[in-house]
Chain A
């Protein structure tokens, strides 16, 4: 087993070193699909964070009880329960957001970030570390969605969180809020992430 990380590093690794979107390339489906507006990106990020943190809490607390052979099935049942709670909660209290996110809330069940963290981390680590890991990964995911959706909303609609930020001279790039815009933005951001990573690596060696 690798040496234990410090408490801070356990949290911070989700922000950059192991950022779920930019470094692990997990959870691409919601990342691409719902980032056409900042509010949708934030809502999706928060819903995923809710599910991830609570699932990590439950899985790490009962990890000794779960037989290895049925661990995936157990994880999925736990994750699906929290996803359904999040889905009902959004439908009841934030109907416009629930409508905008459509089928992507139920689809959090199969978001690889969540199952991936249970399998790779929560099922092997203490409750405290699992929570830190889940908080870190969630922050990293929310940040990634925020960056992606900001770029897409500003260029695609000329607005940020619904407020006009571009002058009247600006002609919105419709492609940015279409699926193609999601791929272009993500591709460029991944390229930048790799560039930064390679620059910092050469400096440290």
Chain B
């Protein structure tokens, strides 16, 4: 066999073998990876609305996904909003829960972020950031409290705490939440969040 023919044959064969191997691996792991994603969302919903028994997707567009959360008596106990936006360094993906009338935040959880370790990454920290979100009044856009305070009682009802040394990351989270809240209210006014409609279909 001439050299060029050999080069072509070897590369083609190696490529074919590795391609088929990867196809098999892809098929074997695909289901599991999708399941992990679903599970992550499920865990997050239970985290942001602790009384959730079951939940289902009720609305989805390119900016956010809304899950309706039901307790054991099938009463609506709130909506979990899954959304993302730019942070200080990269996309921040988060989820938060609101009560059925979209007037109070229940809890916030950060699903994915690449903020500065030790500073901006504190947005995932319960003690210095997340606990300050519980029960915030979100009828109007939320605002940021800086300098930071040390306990949630010291905040006004619609204020959330900034992280010392990571104002931008805190601001970005606030911005993502405020934007999606505005959108959520629009969707709600459009009647797309009512369970009756969902049950009818």
> A residues 68-118 with Cβ under 8 Å of B?
69-70, 73-74, 77-78, 80-81, 84-85, 88-89, 91-93, 95, 99, 102
Could you tell me the distance between the alpha carbons of A178 and B3 in the complex, rounded to whole angstroms? 50
Could you tell me the distance between the alpha carbons of A174 and B122 in the complex, rounded to whole angstroms? 12
B190 interface residue per 8 A CB criterion: no
Pair B3/A81 contact, Cβ less than 8 Å: no
* Given A36-B117, A93-B32, A177-B118; A85-B10 close (CB under 8 Å): no
Grouping DSSP codes into helix (H, G, I), strand (E, B) and loop, the B interface class, with mixed when no group exceeds half, is: helix
Pair B25/A84 contact, Cβ less than 8 Å: yes
Question: How many A residues, CB 8 Å from partner?
Answer: 28
Pair A73/B11 contact, Cβ less than 8 Å: yes
Which of B10, B11, B40 contacts A95 (CB under 8 A)?
B40
A20 interface residue per 8 A CB criterion: no
> A residues 176-200 with Cβ under 8 Å of B?
177-178
A1 interface residue per 8 A CB criterion: no
Chain B contacts for A99, CB-based, 8 A: 112
Chain A contacts for B26, CB-based, 8 A: 88
Pair B117/A178 contact, Cβ less than 8 Å: yes
Pair B7/A67 contact, Cβ less than 8 Å: yes
Grouping DSSP codes into helix (H, G, I), strand (E, B) and loop, the A interface class, with mixed when no group exceeds half, is: helix
Could you tell me the distance between the alpha carbons of A80 and B14 in the complex, rounded to whole angstroms? 12
Q: Return the chain A residue nearest B21 by Cβ.
A: A81
Pair A174/B119 contact, Cβ less than 8 Å: yes
B22 interface residue per 8 A CB criterion: yes
> B residues 17-46 with Cβ under 8 Å of A?
18, 21-22, 25-26, 29, 32-33, 36, 40
Pair B118/A69 contact, Cβ less than 8 Å: no
* Given A70-B11, A93-B32; A80-B117 close (CB under 8 Å): no
* Given A78-B18, A81-B21, A88-B29; A66-B117 close (CB under 8 Å): no
Could you tell me the distance between the alpha carbons of A89 and B33 in the complex, rounded to whole angstroms? 9
Chain B contacts for A27, CB-based, 8 A: none
B116 interface residue per 8 A CB criterion: yes
* Given A81-B22, A99-B112; A91-B36 close (CB under 8 Å): yes
Pair A80/B18 contact, Cβ less than 8 Å: yes
Pair B11/A177 contact, Cβ less than 8 Å: no
B192 interface residue per 8 A CB criterion: no
Q: Which 6 A-B pairs have the closest CB atoms?
A: A81-B18, A174-B118, A92-B29, A92-B32, A88-B29, A177-B117
